[in-house]
Amino acid sequence: MSGLVVLKIGGSVITDKSKPFTYREETVKRIGTEVFRCWPTSLIIIHGGGSFGHPIAKQYEISKGYKELRQLEGFVKTMQAMRELNSLVVKSLVDAGIGAVGMPASLLFVTRNGVIETALLDTLFAALDLGVIPVTCGDVVFDREKKFTVLSGDNIAVYLARRLRAKRLVFAIDVDGVYEISRETGDKKLLEELDRRKHSTLLYQEADDVTGGLFNKVDEAFNAVNDGIEVLIVNGLVEGRVEAAVKGKPVKGTKLVK
Ligand code: IP8
């Protein structure tokens, strides 16, 4: 699908991560209007877990897989929280005038040791074919080894971009891109371009996310870069950046390069 763009919107953009279950409706509606202006670009949207999915998944240690009975409660509660967040995101996008269809990832993917092994993508393909936007999310999923795990929206975004041969993969996060932080002075410099070698030398802030934060996102995204997909990381909290990135126009952010 040569014209396809995959857009991952971070949980820190769509929720306030400092307060459980705090949805940023106005932000998602504003991103929705930007996405609306990208029509007729073929698009898949994936969003993160933010203050809906991560606190519960962390509390019940869902990423470790099934160890004890009490985790089942955490598994279903995390799934419930992500369904709720997915519905809220889809509603805001529809309010912005977009034909958006929610598809929680727990129904699309089965993993083995956290890696996607089965992807049931018929409904996603049908939606794309119809010209409506599939909206999936990081989620708890069934896992063939661990019984269950957490599948990050970042991994889903890279998987779909590679499998569907997208032309561009855009990550909307809550800062301007990837920064180089000086070990001596602590000064921060936004990297307009980042290659894998440099990535392995950078200091990344310790992630509070159960799925590994910015390091995991960038590390995983280099697999898409290797496949020739353009990968951009932009600030989703700043008006206009998502639109420019999806359209392939010049934009402040970090481009991953070989
Ligand atoms: O925020 C994680 O997705 P991410 C989803 O994209 C859950 O890493 C359930 C915590």
CATH number reported for the structural domain that contains residue 199 in this entry = 3.40.1160.10
Whether 121 is covered by a domain: the verdict is yes
* Residue pLDDT, tens place only, 158-214: 999 999 999 999 999 999 999 998 888 989 999 999 999 999 999 887 777 888 889
53 inside domain: yes
Number of domain units in the chain: 1
- Position 179, amino acid: Y
Probe ligand 1: pick from 71, 83, 150, 155, max atoms within 8 Å of CB?
Answer: 150
Q: Tell me whether residue 240 is annotated as binding.
A: no
Query: What radius of gyration, in Å, describes the C-alpha atoms of the chain?
Result: 17
Domain extent at residue 196: 6-256
Residue/partner pairs of 212-218 with CB below 8 Å, 24 or more apart? 212/152, 214/173, 214/178, 216/152, 216/154, 216/155, 217/8, 217/154, 217/171, 217/173, 218/178, 218/194, 218/256
Rounded Cα distance between 29 and 201, Å, is: 37
Residues within a 6 A CB radius of ligand 1: 11, 48-49, 53-54, 57, 78, 82, 138-140, 150, 152-154, 209-211
Say if residues 24 and 16 touch (Cβ distance below 8 Å): yes
In a domain, 215, yes or no: yes
* DSSP H or E segment with residue 168: strand 168-173
Instruction: Please check whether residue 1 lies inside any domain of the structure.
Output: no
Q: What average pLDDT does the chain have? A: 96
pLDDT digits (tens, 9 = 90+) for 1-15: 679 999 999 999 999
The reported pTM is: 0.97
Contact by Cβ (8 Å): 220, 151: no
